[in-house]
Structure 1
Amino acid sequence: MSGVRTYQNLNSLVTRLRDDLNDKELVLLYAYNRTGKTRLSMDFKDRGKRNNNGKPDTLYFNAFTEDLFTWENDLENDSARGLKVNYESRFFDGFSSLGLEPTIDEYLSRYADFGFDFDYKEIRQGGETFSKPYFVKFSKDTQENIKISRGEESIFIWCIFMAICERILDSHESYQWVKYIYVDDPISSLDDNNAVAITCDLAKLLRRATNRKNESGISNPLKIVVSSHHSLFFNVMCNEIGRAKENEPKVKHRRYFLHRPNSEGIYTLQPTEDTPFFHHVASLAELQKAADPETGKLYTFHFNALRSIMEKTAAFFGHSDISFCLKKIDNDENRALFNRVLNLLSHGSYAIFEPTPMGEDNQNLFRQILKDFIASFQFDLPKIFAEPSARKPT
């Protein structure tokens, strides 16, 4: 697949992804927040159930997975604090028989320094009785029932998912139904250090999943989709999955930038090919669209966005502020003016949720700064904003 493709709804997008996985082992998607990544993951899961007479084929991690855990503060006694577990989910099938806790602890110890303890109870489901977790308590050193942060909650839940994936790779009977793994935004609330560590661990596990063999030694790979709005995660994943590893076959995969040009439910996919897709390049394309005199709408917060991109560009080249970017602009008079404008107009309290239209003079200045910045650094912007009629429909 080459060029930008347009999809009229999530259903056709799911078809594209599942078709890709017929001859590829993994699909990487980069998309902004509010593009519809979580809904896409659920539609992908639902398609599997429809194709298999109601039987699932996809184990997924997304916002719904995290919602299986709810924090309990025990306001009455202020003692039994921890996470309540929605044990009715199939996510916890065979949990007690899998011996997951040592594997969870092995992963968790890489990213955090607290302990955990599951409480189990017998659950009657479909005429059978299962032992399932219903509560998790946390500790640190000698302190019991401690409160952990939201970020630590996310890490803990992620470690459970990784431990389950390990059992899937071991072909445990409780997860024989899993043919696809769909991971959506696993690290949205983590700092960069943990983000890189978790991404590398995930990439290592996914490489094993794509090279899985059955008991007869015949190739039996799991098919995988990973989506994220986190640029660091995406770039590390591209590097880890894309390069060949010693004594391992290369992972056959595709990388896309997923975009929703408007609120009408139309989606576009652009292959990112061999180069990791940088978030600030896509953001520049968004700003270029907003700056179009005929079809765009410029708001005061766009100055904040442009300054942020300039700061990232300067940092990429090892410089501490945007003066590096402005020095690339040939015209001395413009350079001084642009510097004053960016410093003045990018530090206001401009709310994205209550946007203020930009005045005409400022619009002209913004367009000139953006034009000169793009030209000076020769950015190759993604062609994701062409009119839908000009793209290949699907």
Structure 2
Amino acid sequence: MSKTLTEIAQQLRDANKKVQMIYAFNGIGKTRLSREFKQLIAPKNDDGEGDQSELSRNKILYYNAFTEDLFYWDNDLELDADPKLKIQPNSYTDWLLTLLKDLGQDGNIVKYFQRYANDKLTPHFSEDFTEVGFSLERGDDERSGYIKISKGEESNFIWSVFYTLLDQVITILNVAEPGERETNQFDQLEYVFIDDPVSSLDENHLIELAVNLAGLIKSSQSDLKFIVTTHSPLFYNVLFNELNGKTCYLLERFEDGTFALVEKQGDSNKSFSYHLYLKQTLEQAIANNQVQKYHFTLLRNLYEKTASFLGYPKWSELLPDDKQLYLNRIIQFTSHSTLSNEAVAEPTPQEKQMVKLLLENLIDNYGFWQQLEQNDNRN
């Protein structure tokens, strides 16, 4: 039965599970679900009494795309000043940074960041923790001037701030007696909602992050509950194998804008028929003449998975005829653009037809797909 995201949030709350994992494609509504869940756990106070941000963080901590919006670059090019990543001043960031500073956690933020980025790339907090500069350490007690890091490195840094906070939260709440805890600011905390912290990681670091996060969750001995959403099959599968006692779901969105949260068993390949789901999504887009840029990513994903299964060293070897032409076009649509003037236009009718041709090539020429469909029909 289809539901609104508010009803999906209520379903998650009613489940009352220690760990709930949700798999969904990008654009389905994971981030909106995190906001709906936050509103459910800590509804806005209409009478105006109390600090709404404080009321919210007392009940739920969450990481999503909006978390990254709290950080921005100060590019003072006119004065040739060093670029610094600044932190939006509001009640939440003031609370967060003061807390981490008081707990002496800046060193741990640096440690976690370098684990996922570059061990020579070092963040430097200002004394009041309102801005961060980044330098490259040269190993001879010298360092570069402050540099502007990439968007991916920036995302990793922001995740490292949140991860450090989460580590402290779990450690503090593991002390059973509230009177013996280092701080009582987390005593009322009920939920941690983590939405897709993996968008900028390569596979090795993605696996490491998943293992570390799973270990942190497993170390929690309090009544704290965790909800983790992701679009990454690899991240999902690592968490699935690392965590015990979790409840797993697939989040789906229908054409009328409603949703379904379907409980599943097994990792993404077993429980979601992941390859077939991608194939079905592409076929539907082709049939409705609604092929968009992200469908090239799904198509590439299918080729990569098929090549890996069949033992091909490069997925491009599965492409038909003029392989380089098709490869260049797929890469054009699936590479991350960093400059606005590099933005890729919407697919032309010919490019949409190419998606159809390449999908048919994969299905018609590789028995792997017939086998998958037969297995799926038996289940």
What's the TM-score, normalizing by structure 1?
0.72
Amino acid of the structure 1 residue aligned with 2:264: T
In structure 2, distance between residues paired with 1:52 and 1:254: 31
Quote the residue 1:217 is aligned against: none
Q: Secondary structure at the match of 1:148?
A: coil
Establish whether residue 134 from structure 1 lines up as the match of residue 134 from structure 2. no
Alignment of 1:160 with 2:156, yes or no, is no
Q: Quick one: distance in 1 between partners of 2:356 and 2:202?
A: 35
* Residue of structure 1 equivalent to 2:26: 33
The Cα offsets for residues 79-136 of structure 1, whole Å up to 9 and x where unpaired, read as: 3321111231424422321221122133223222222222244xxxxxxxxxxx2111
Q: 1:233 — aligned with what?
A: 235
Corresponding residue number in structure 1 for 2:88: 86
State whether residues 282 and 381 of structure 1, in contact with CA within 8 Å, keep that contact through their aligned partners in structure 2: no
The percent of aligned pairs where both chains have the same amino acid is 31
Report what 1:319 is aligned to. Answer: 312
Partner of 2:280: 285
- Asked whether 1:47 is paired with 2:53, we answer no
Match status 1:117 vs 2:124: yes
- Cα-to-partner distance string for 1:216-260 (whole Å, 9 max, x where unaligned): xxxx2311111111222122121212xxxxxxxxx3211112121
Residue 185 of structure 1 contacts residue 228 of structure 1 at CA under 8 Å; is this kept in 2? yes
Matched residue, 2:341 = none
Structure 2 Cα separation of the partners of residues 359 and 95 of structure 1: 50
SS in 2 for 1:225: strand
* Range moving further from structure 2, 300-309 or 112-121: 300-309
Query: How far apart are the structure 2 equivalents of 1:69 and 1:43?
Result: 23
Cα distance in structure 2, aligned partners of 1:362 and 1:197 = 34
Shift of 1:165: 0.7
Inter-partner Cα distance in structure 1 for 2:84 and 2:321: 51
**2:370 corresponds to which residue?**
376
Does the CA contact (< 8 Å) of 1:181 and 1:222 recur in 2? yes
- Give the letter for the 2:125 counterpart: F
Q: Which structure features the higher share of helix residues?
A: 2
Amino acid at match of 2:219: R
Of 254, 258, 266, which aligns to 1:266? 258
Among 189, 192, 198, the residue aligned to 1:187: 198
CA root-mean-square deviation:
3.5
1:177-216 aligned at under 5 Å gives the runs 177-209=188-220, 212=221
**In structure 1, distance between residues paired with 2:355 and 2:217:** 48
Is the Cα–Cα contact under 8 Å of residues 304 and 345 in structure 1 kept in the other structure?
A: no
Partner SS for 2:349: coil
* Whole-Å separation in 1 of the counterparts to 2:91 and 2:376: 40
Q: CA deviation at 1:33?
A: 1.2
Q: Tell me which residue corresponds to 1:254.
A: 247
Asked whether the equivalents of residues 299 and 355 of structure 1 are also in contact (C-alpha less than 8 Å), the reply is: no
Q: Structure 2 counterpart of 1:225, which letter?
A: I
Q: 1:51 to 1:221 in 2, by over 3 A?
A: farther
Between stretches 365-374 and 63-72, larger displacement belongs to 365-374
Shift of the 381–346 alpha-carbon distance from structure 1 to 2, 3 Å rule, reads: farther
1:291 and 1:298 map into 2 onto residues whose CA distance is 6
Q: Once the 2 structures are TM-superposed, how far is the Cα of residue 68 of structure 1 from its aligned partner? A: 0.9
**TM-fit CA distance, 1:50:** 2.0
Unaligned runs of 5+ in 2: 47-51, 138-142, 174-182, 334-343
Whether the 8 Å contact between 1:72 and 1:83 is mirrored in structure 2 is yes
Aligned-partner Cα distance in 2 for 1:47–1:11:
8
Q: What is the CA distance between 1:380 and its match in structure 2?
A: 6.9
Equivalent residues of 1:299, 1:356 under 8 A apart: no
Amino acid at match of 1:168: V
| More moved, 135-144 vs 352-361 | 352-361
CA offsets, 1:148-176, max 9 Å, x none?
A: 22221111111111110111111332333
Distance 1:381 1:91, change over 3 A: farther
Contact 2:153–2:200 under 8 Å retained in 1: no
Query: For 2:355 and 2:34, how far apart are their aligned partners in 1?
Result: 41
| Partner amino acid, structure 2, of 1:179 | E
* Residue type of the alignment partner of 2:187: Q
SS in 2 for 1:189: coil
Which letter maps to 1:37? K
In 1, the alpha carbon distance for the partners of 2:323 and 2:292 equals: 11
User: What CA distance in whole angstroms lies between the structure 1 residues aligned with 2:105 and 2:327?
Assistant: 49
* Aligned equivalent of 2:178: none
Cα 1:107–1:369 shift into 2, 3 Å: closer
Opposite residue 164 of structure 2, the aligned amino acid is: A
Q: Give runs of aligned pairs for residues 344-359 of structure 1, distance below 5 A.
A: 353-356=346-349
In the superposition, relative to structure 1, how do residues 149 and 341 fare at CA in structure 2: closer, same or farther (>3 Å)?
closer
